Amino acid sequence: MNTQNHLRNLQHQTILERAKYPKNQGKTNPIDRYQIGDNPSCGDRIELTIKFSQTKQIIEDIKFQGKGCALTIASADLMAEILLGKTREEALEITEKFRQMLKGEISLSDNLPKLNIFQGVAQFPIRIKCVLLSWHTLKTTLESLN
């Protein structure tokens, strides 16, 4: 097996593992923000809850519940892990960079290596919506705080 096939297989396994055993599933306590994201074309649905710091600037906890394909669930789980402790501005910046990577516009830098497992999705435009569902839901939530 060549290196590229091995890497693709490893990425696939990581996505399946995250989808099967998500670490950030549930609801935050307390729930400062609640947002539902739907992808009506495939039936995927994510319910996002966020707990903010007292200043409402830092994400202290982020959880999700929902149903969807492996890409939807794995993406929501990694999003919650990566954005924990980030400011609203940092979270929005990471969300935009992730969107650009999925569209094939940029490569993510080494400071977000976990998100690179989704890089191959750029080859399948119809699947980008699955990966971005939780991120769009988060963006809507964060932008509504202004």
Q: Give pLDDT tens digits for 84-128.
A: 999 999 999 999 999 988 888 877 666 677 888 888 888 888 899
The pLDDT of residue 73 is above 80: yes
Mean pLDDT of 63-72: 95
What is the Cα 52 distance to its own chain's centre? 18
Q: Strand pairing partners for 33?
A: 50
C-alpha span between 67 and 7 (Å, rounded): 27
| Residue range 49-61, pLDDT digits in tens | 999 999 888 999 9
Nearest CA to 91 among 134, 44, 55? 134
C-alpha span between 55 and 79 (Å, rounded): 22
| Residue range 7-49, pLDDT digits in tens | 677 788 889 999 999 999 999 999 999 999 999 888 999 999 9
> What letter represents residue 99's amino acid?
R
Rounded to two decimals, what is the model's pTM? 0.91
Q: Strand pairing partners for 51?
A: 61
pLDDT at site 124:
85
The pLDDT of residue 1 is above 60: no
> What letter represents residue 90's amino acid?
E
Question: How far separated are the first and last CA of the chain, in Å rounded?
Answer: 50
pLDDT at site 56:
84
Residues 6+ apart with CB under 8 A from 102: 118, 119, 121, 122, 128, 131, 132
